[in-house]
Structures are given as C-alpha cells and as structure tokens.
Amino acid sequence: MNDEVVMTCAVTGSGDTAGIHPDLPITPEQIAASAVDAAKAGAAVVHIHVRDPETGDPARDPGLYAEVVERIRESGVDVIVNLTAGMGGDLIVDPENPAIAGEGTDFIPALDRLLHVESLLPEICTLDCGSMNFGDDHSVMINPPAHLRVMAERIRCLGVKAELEIFDTGHFWFTQGLVQAGLLGDRPLYQFCHGIPWGMPADVGLLKNMVDQLPGDTFWTSFAISRMQMPWVAQSILLGGHVRVGLEDNLYLERGTFASNAQLVEKAASLILGLGASLAGPQRARELIGLPSRT
C-alpha cells in the first residue's frame, strides 16, 4: 500500500460531455478556476485540456492553453500543471470510403502536437503511448511509434516530464522500449488508464500485472472512468500507486448528482485518509515524481 498519495485532477477532458454536464468547465476562465478549486481541495496536479469557448468542442489552440496556464499561475495557488499533448491524433474513418479520412479527423505532425508545450513549458505533459479504437463509432486514436519517439525526445529536451498514458497492454510494452532507449530521462512517470472503450477494462489483474513489470525508480498512477472512478482510487493506493479523479473521467458525485472537480477531489481525499494514507502537497509531489523543486 502507498501511504503518501499524489492526486491529479483531470479538469475537463475532450470527451463529448459538454452537452451532458450543465457546469462542465469550457472557457479558459472556467477551466482555470476549476483547476484552482481542485488544487485548494487537495489535488497536487491538474491535467488540462482546452475547449472551444463557444461550442464546448475539444480544441488545441495554443492561445487557449496560454490563457488557462496564465490564470492558474496568477492565482497564487501552487499546483503542478500537466498539459495534454494528445490532441491531433484523431482519425475518423469514412464508412463510405475508408481510404479517405472522414469529417472530424484531426491528425497532425508529431511536433505540432507539442507547440503549446514548447511555448508554456509546463512541468508535465502527456504522451499517449499507442493507437486504439476510441469509443464505439468510427474514431481511431492514432499514435505511430515513430511519432511517439520523436515526441518523447522533444519533451525530454524541453525539460518537461512526459506522463506516459497507457490505455492498453501493448502501450505498456512500447514504453519499455522508450525507457531502454533513454528517451524519457530520470524516473519515468506512468499513468494507467482503465475503462475507456476499447482499451483496458477496469480489471485489477491487468493493473497488477503491469505494475509488477515496471522498471526501477518509477512513479506510477492510475484511474478508471465513470462509476469505477472512486473504487479505483482505493485500488491504486492498495497496489502502491497514486490517483487521478476529475470531470474528464466521471461527471457524477453520486448517481444522478453532477459533481464539480473540487467535490470529486474532496471525495477522493476522504477515501485516501480513510485508508490511513496522507495526501502529498505540490512540493512533496514534485519530489516523489522527480520534478525540480520550486521556491
């Protein structure tokens, strides 16, 4: 069991949830405010996506990221910022002509996916470590190995920590090659992502199998989506890991009651403390993750 837990809050995500949750953070002001509230509630890390302020659709405009990060930094609240670099790997297969990318495809060169990371230099950014069928329609998340190696090397050279997003067991296998090639720097950061169709189910056996194979001096965390979010907080801690909650992964505090990010963090914090563990603040989290300290 892990007795000192780093909690991440994934603030808004890129899923089709803006039309479901009436108060999902959408604008840069809302996303930043929700991130700050989550930090005050106990999250040491905030994971940031941005959305089109008018439509709520997922976006990757560097200007939107810049506004969110600036607002968080100006708040005076110390929190580790983790920016997604997952946008730009979406392929929509046209059912009538599969050889042509369908409407909604957003597949761009590897380094273009890091433009906001280069300009803002967050402490952490994500690296989705493989391709997969994403959801139950014509959408495929595309992450060719060659692209990932280029991105991993660039992230390392920027002095940013790559959070390795593991959606399936093959993704985990691929990361072992990144570690062996020296593309990740010291202390790899793993995030095991469970329950997303059609990646890994929320099966503790799968998580334990991968955790048992982790390279030495590794920091790892995990989450599961929807109703498994809170049970997975306990499961991750019991296996020795850290946790993630937030509206990216689950919209509800309980059945029929929409949550805020701060409420989800508070609920997870109660679970953590109830298990006899403690919450790491941002400075301690930097030590545990292997980030430079900040004064």
Mean of the per-residue pLDDT values for the chain? Answer: 95
* Domain contains 11: yes
Q: pLDDT by residue (tens digit) across 33-48? A: 999 999 999 999 999 9
* Domain contains 294: no
Cα 194 from Cα 42, distance rounded (Å):
23
Cα 3 from Cα 105, distance rounded (Å):
43
Q: Which domain range does residue 38 map to?
A: 4-289
| Cβ neighbours for 140, distance < 8 A, ≥ 6 positions apart | 90, 91, 92, 93, 131, 132, 133, 134
Q: What is the mean pLDDT of residues 203-212?
A: 96
Query: In the chain, where does DSSP find H-type helix?
Result: 28-41, 62-74, 115-120, 145-157, 169-180, 204-211, 229-238, 261-274, 282-289
- Predicted confidence band of residue 216 (pLDDT cuts 50, 70, 90): confident
Mapped onto helix, strand or coil, the DSSP state of residue 198 is coil
In the chain, the number of structural domains is: 1
pLDDT for 17 beyond 70: yes
* Domain contains 295: no
> The domain spanning residue 130 has which CATH number?
3.20.20.70
Q: What is the mean pLDDT of residues 261-290?
A: 98
Cα 87 from Cα 201, distance rounded (Å):
23
**278, β-bridge pairs:** 4
Q: What is the mean pLDDT of residues 262-277?
A: 98
Structure confidence at residue 97 (pLDDT): 85
Structure confidence at residue 134 (pLDDT): 83
Enter the pTM of the model: 0.96
